[in-house]
């Protein structure tokens, strides 16, 4: 597979094993806001998707807790990566010191790892890498009034995201990412990225580079437009081959062909 792109992703390393130029992946990134990417969805599907993102984004302790410079602050959001016909939900956590500086974002691809990481953040309010031990258990974490296990059950449920499967065919892409927007000044709840970079999400923990490369190269031909067969009438097809209505008939006045001996 030949990749045409302005950026490098984690699975690009598999190109070292060879390039099949018959399959070309034009990895051009495009972002669509909430109003655009949900056009055409039924009310039930749209509401289900938005509710899953909203319930997860509401789990922000920093919105109820006063912070001062030097304190750790964190935000929770959700993302769903569509990869070659399959959907992979993830919870992302951005944590940083209470300041205007950008923080570090980490993705958790299973419900268990997400809850364990969030329990650590609630327990000490610091980066998980700086936490020596789990001070607060996951059970305590889930008993908090504003943190409900049902929120994460719904978010990691496959049925929640099935309506997003149409984006593969609709956008002719093997990869997309739908992610929540936690900016309180924005009217958007989620946005859609076509052909995004997955390197920053740690998707390599879900699917290693060589396997991801192979899946894309096999999935792309299925997205190619199918050429419609044009049916040509027999008389026009025969004429295109040089035949006419008398081509297979004996002309008047010509003798019959003599049969060879032995033939009945």
Helices (H), 12-165: 34-37, 43-57, 111-124, 138-142, 149-155, 158-161
Residue pair 98/72 in contact by the 8 Å Cβ criterion: yes
Residue 228 domain flag:
no
Residue 59 domain flag:
yes
Residue 236 domain flag:
no
Paired tokens of 119:
């329990």
Average of per-residue pLDDT across 55-65: 58
- pLDDT of residue 140 exceeding 50, the answer is no
Of residues 37 and 217, more confidently modeled = 217
- pLDDT of residue 64 exceeding 80, the answer is no
Give residue 47's domain range: 29-206
Which residue do the tokens 């490098």 mark?
Answer: 8
Query: How confident is residue 206, by pLDDT bands cut at 50, 70 and 90?
Result: very high
Residue 98 domain flag:
yes
Give this prediction's pTM. 0.73
Instruction: Return d(Cα 116, Cα 118) in angstroms, integer.
Output: 6
Query: CA angle 109-25-33, nearest 5°?
Result: 55
As a whole number, the mean pLDDT across the chain is: 76
Instruction: Give the chain's domain count.
Output: 1
Lowest mean pLDDT among 34-43, 78-87, 110-119, 150-159: 34-43
* pLDDT computed for residue 4 by the predictor: 93
- pLDDT of residue 84 exceeding 60, the answer is yes
* pLDDT computed for residue 47 by the predictor: 84
Paired tokens of 202:
């740690």
Lowest mean pLDDT among 48-52, 82-86, 186-190: 186-190
* pLDDT computed for residue 236 by the predictor: 57
Residue 202 domain flag:
yes
With H, G, I as helix, E, B as strand and everything else as coil, classify residue 32: strand
Q: Pick the closest to residue 38 from 163, 175, 183 (CA basis).
A: 163
The segment with the largest mean pLDDT, out of 56-60, 104-108, 145-149, 170-174, is 170-174
* pLDDT computed for residue 167 by the predictor: 92
């Amino acid at each position: 597979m030949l990749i045409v792109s302005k950026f490098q992703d984690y699975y690009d390393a598999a190109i070292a094993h060879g390039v099949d130029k018959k399959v070309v992946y034009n990895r051009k990134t495009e972002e669509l806001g909430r109003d655009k990417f949900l056009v055409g969805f039924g009310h039930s599907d749209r509401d289900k998707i938005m509710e899953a993102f909203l319930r997860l984004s509401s789990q922000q302790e920093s919105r109820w807790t006063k912070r001062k410079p030097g304190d750790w602050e964190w935000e929770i959001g959700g993302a769903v990566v569509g990869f070659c016909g399959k959907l992979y939900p993830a919870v992302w956590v951005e944590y940083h010191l209470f300041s205007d500086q950008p923080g570090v974002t980490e993705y958790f691809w299973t419900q268990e790892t997400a809850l364990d990481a969030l329990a650590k953040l609630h327990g000490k309010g610091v980066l998980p890498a700086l936490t020596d031990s789990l001070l607060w258990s996951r059970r305590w974490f889930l008993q908090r009034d504003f943190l409900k296990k049902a929120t994460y059950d719904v978010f990691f449920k496959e049925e929640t995201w099935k309506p997003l499967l149409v984006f593969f065919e609709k956008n002719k892409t093997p990869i997309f990412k739908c992610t929540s927007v936690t900016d309180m000044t924005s009217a958007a709840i989620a946005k859609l990225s076509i052909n995004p970079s997955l390197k920053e999400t740690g998707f390599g923990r879900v699917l290693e580079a060589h396997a991801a490369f192979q899946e894309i190269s096999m999935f792309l031909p299925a997205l190619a437009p199918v050429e419609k067969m044009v049916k040509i009438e027999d008389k026009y097809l025969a004429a295109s081959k040089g035949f006419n209505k008398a081509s297979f008939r004996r002309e008047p006045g010509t003798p019959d062909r003599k049969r060879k001996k032995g033939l009945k």
